[in-house]
Structure formats: structure tokens, C-alpha cells
Amino acid sequence: MSERHSRETATEITGFILEETTTLGLRELSSACAVQAEHIIALVEEGVIEPVSYRRRKWQFTGASLTRARRAVALQRDLGLNIEGAALALDLIDELDRLRSRLRAIDPGS
Amino acid sequence: MKYKDYYKIMGVARDATQDEIKRAYRKLARKYHPDVSKEADAETRFKEVGEAYEVLKDPEKRAAYDQLGADWKAGQDFRPPPDWDAGFEFSGGGFTGGDASAFSDFFESLFGGRGMGGGMGGGMGAGTGGFRQARGGGFSARGEDHRAKILIDLEDAFEGASRSISLTAPSVDKEGHVRTRQRTLNVRIPKGIRPGQHIRLAGQGTPGIGGGSAGDLYLEVEFRPHRLYRVDGADLHLDLPLAPWEAALGAKVKVPTPQGAVDLTIPPNTAAGRKLRLQGRGLPGKNPGDLYATVRIEAPPADTEDEKAAYRRFADQFDFDPRSRMAGRGTEAGR
């Protein structure tokens, strides 16, 4: 088998914290979630994610919205959920994360 | 290559109906979905279940798989019989179950066209043709996103850290063969990162197919448990043991923080469980967190005669019942 297409590359990349530094437009966000823009608009209408700016032509989203949107899309696709179901699941997952984090702060053995 | 028992993975009988298979998949997908599950091997299990479902939900692929026979055991060394798929025409329904690039060698050898290359030129290829065409031919798709978890130490969040990450990504060459490509990325993790946050490296996922753009790489950051501190969002929590006299009389004690020890004034009559806040001593960032020291009172053991005498004097001096609030209705409140 030819090794033409296998190569080893080592690159130094500086990471940025998605939740804090990124802002994305509608097109970037839909491309990062691999869905049509209509899907993102539906997520906004359902209140799953909120643009920082509300003027439709200049919607800007934070990195935290990207994480949420990707999760919503994955849940819809993998579990066959509709958008309302994915929204509910996301809220419950957030709540669970908060509680788990609080629990770990109290009881390190958890 | 190891044989995979897709029925066992899905927990269904070999003669399960398509409905039963779908139900089993949904249940397992909910249980192991990486966005939902906290089980350590959730991601692996989820992929395994997705792969099994990819085969069993499709009557054509299922029939071809069934034809291998029921005598194989999971994990057994497996090599597909030379003409195992003769007479099957995979219409190439495409992958629907998410991260197809993560399917096993076993799956690839049966349905992916890999392994058909070396030494089997000529007349081969008819069986998997449809599928291979769908992957290699005139069709473009965005590459898959990659997700990886990285573990860092609490100290790394204060100073930043570098992590080396190895990624194995399949790529498709001009002849349609799938090849594995190893890449190593050295990623600088910025200081101020918090548990559960992500680092996104745009374009560092799987390369696109047929001119499609590359996927992205997402690194989810988790912290290793720390000997002293527990993390809640940006805040740190620490247990602060005090001697009974320090808590009662007040004291100045040294408290460790990740940026070095600080002097903390303990007010007189500090009760166990009280939280003392050290503002801005939590995780760094635009809005730095706080450090909370939770007071624990540790009484020394009374081993020597002098120590026992000290405790007795102590008892004589106090009119104190630590269980006074336990007394319920209808009983005397112990004093």
C-alpha cells in the first residue's frame, strides 16, 4: 500500500477558549454545526441559543452558543428528538452539570 | 481484525425484528450519548452501538452480515471470506449515524471497501462498488468534526500548558482507497480555562471529501482531581482544618492557594462548616473566581495523662451540650 497520503505533521497551535473568545455569524455557526442556516434559526426561535445581537442580518453568537447548538443538533440526529425535545434535554443536562459540579465541590469522592 | 457481534452489542436476538433493533438502538444511544452520559467509556460505546445499528437497521447490510454465520464469537480473529458479499448490492444508503469515520476495521472490511485494494485487482470490486463510489466518486462532503478530551492539572489553568494530541483520521485517495493518516498536534492551552470548557481548532478535524471543507477539532478540558482544591465553575473550594482554640479565640493562619500561601484571619467563635471567602483567588480569567475555605474543626486525641486532664478541665468549664438541638418534641432539651 502506498504511503503517499500518509504523513506525520507536528504543528504548534495556540488554542482559544471557545466559550470566552469566539463570536460567530449565522453562516459560520451553521457550517460549524454542519446544518442549514434554517436549522440554526429554528434553534434561536425555540430559545435553545440566543444571538448576542438580535438584528437578523447581523446575528452574532458566542462560543457557548456553538457548544449548545452542536449538542442540540447531535441529540436531534442521534436520538431522533424534535427540537423541543432537544431543548428540554439540553436544559436538563445543564442543570445536571451544575449539580454535579456543586456536588464535587462538597464531596470530592463523588 | 476482530469479529464484532453486532447483535450482542445491541443486546438483541439474531432474529430480532427491525422495530426491536430500532428500540434497542434508541435506548442505548440515550444511555451512551457523549453529550448526556458521564460513563467513562461512553464515547466508545456510543460509536460501537452506532456501528452495529448502521448494519442491522439496513436489511441489505444485515442480510450480508448474517450470512457470515452465527458461529463467530466477539473478538475472534476475523478475515472476510473472499467472496462473502457476492450477490449483494449495497445501494450505498450512506451513513446516517454520525461519525462514520470512527467505524471499526471490521466494519470497513465488510462495507467500506478498505482491504479490497492490495492483491485483489481484476475482477474484484463489484460487490462493494456502489458504496465505494459514494465515498470516492463525484460527491463532496464536509469532513467530520473530531472531539477529544484532555486532562489538565489545576496548576495548568493558572499557567497555561501544552498538550500533544495524536489524531488518526481516514482520508480517501484518488482510487477510492481509505488510508489512515496520523497527525500530531501540539496545542497550547490558554491559562484561565475552566473544567468543561472547549478549545476549538477550526479546520483540524477530518479533511473534507471531494473539495468539501475540513471538519473542526474540539478539545473538551477536564481537570484531574487535586489533592487540596475542588473546582466549581471558576471557584475553588478547600477544607481548612482548625484547632478548637483557633476557631474559638480567633487566629491568623496560613492558607495555601494555587498562587501561594496567604494569611487568613479567623474571627473568634468561628463555627465548623463556615465558609471563608478569599476573593479573586479562584481560577484566573476575565472574571476570576474566588477561593472558599470551609472550616473544619479537628480536636486532638487525648493520649497522655496531661492531655486527659486538659480535656477534663475543659469539660468542667463549659455548660455545653453539642446534641441540644437533636431533642425533639416531648423530650427534655438536655439542659
User: Among the listed ranges A39-53, A72-86, B24-38, B171-185, which one has the minimum average pLDDT value?
Assistant: B171-185
**A45 — contact with chain B (CB < 8 Å)?**
no
Q: How confident is the model at residue B81 (pLDDT cuts 50, 70, 90)?
A: low
**A97 — contact with chain B (CB < 8 Å)?**
yes
Q: Which of A7, A12, A108 lies at the smallest CB-CB distance from B181?
A: A7
User: Among the listed ranges A12-16, B231-235, B238-242, which one has the minimum average pLDDT value?
Assistant: A12-16
Q: Over the stretch B307-319, which tens digit does the pLDDT of each residue have?
A: 999 999 999 999 9
Q: Which of A19, A63, A79 lies at the smallest CB-CB distance from B29?
A: A79
Is pLDDT of B28 > 70?
yes
Is pLDDT of A95 > 60?
yes
Q: Over the stretch B34-72, which tens digit does the pLDDT of each residue have?
A: 888 877 788 888 989 999 998 999 888 888 888 877 676
- Give me the helices (H) in A4-82, please: 18-21, 26-33, 37-45, 63-79
Contacts of A30 in chain B (CB under 8 A): none
Helix (H, G, I), strand (E, B) or coil at B242: strand
**Rounded Cα gap, residues A46 and A34, in angstroms:** 19
Question: What value does the mean pLDDT of chain B take?
Answer: 79
Is pLDDT of B4 > 60?
yes
For this complex, say whether ipTM is above 0.95: no
Is pLDDT of B157 > 70?
yes
Residue B92 has φ and ψ, to the nearest 5°, of 65, 50
CA distances from B63 to B7, B58, B126 (A): 13, 8, 17
**Rounded Cα gap, residues A101 and A108, in angstroms:** 10
Burial of B17 (0-12, 13-18, 19+ CB in 10 A): exposed
Asked if B36's CB is within 8 angstroms of A78's CB, the reply is: no
Q: How many residues does chain B have?
A: 335
Q: Which of A13, A75, A105 lies at the smallest CB-CB distance from B232?
A: A105
Q: What is the mean pLDDT of residues A66-82?
A: 91
Q: How confident is the model at residue B85 (pLDDT cuts 50, 70, 90)?
A: low
Q: What is the mean pLDDT of residues A17-41?
A: 86
Q: Which of A6, A13, A77 lies at the smallest CB-CB distance from B181?
A: A6
**What is the pTM (predicted TM-score) of this model?**
0.68
Structure confidence at residue B10 (pLDDT):
93
Three-class SS of B125-186: CCCCHHHHHHHHCCCCECCCCEEEEEEECHHHHHHCEEEEEEEEEEEECCCCCEEEEEEEEE
Residue with cell 455557526: A29
Q: Over the stretch B89-137, which tens digit does the pLDDT of each residue have?
A: 454 444 444 444 567 777 777 776 533 333 333 333 333 333 333 344 4
Q: For B110, left (φ over 0), alpha (ψ -120 to 50), or beta?
A: alpha
Share of chain B above pLDDT 90, in %: 37
Is pLDDT of B333 > 80?
no
Asked if B198's CB is within 8 angstroms of A18's CB, the reply is: yes
Asked if A89's CB is within 8 angstroms of B36's CB, the reply is: yes
**A24 — contact with chain B (CB < 8 Å)?**
no
**Rounded Cα gap, residues B20 and B16, in angstroms:** 6
User: Among the listed ranges B56-70, B136-150, B210-224, which one has the minimum average pLDDT value?
Assistant: B136-150
How many interface pairs between A and B have CB atoms less than 8 angstroms apart?
A: 119
Helix (H) or strand (E) holding B318: none
Q: How confident is the model at residue B145 (pLDDT cuts 50, 70, 90)?
A: confident
Q: Are residues B294 and B241 in contact, defined by beta-carbon separation less than 8 angstroms? A: no
Q: Which of residues 274-313 of B touch A (CB under 8 A)?
A: 285-286
Q: How confident is the model at residue B269 (pLDDT cuts 50, 70, 90)?
A: very high
| Nearest-Cα residue of chain A relative to residue B229 | A105
Contacts of B233 in chain A (CB under 8 A): 101
Q: Which residue has the higher pLDDT, B168 or A20?
A: A20
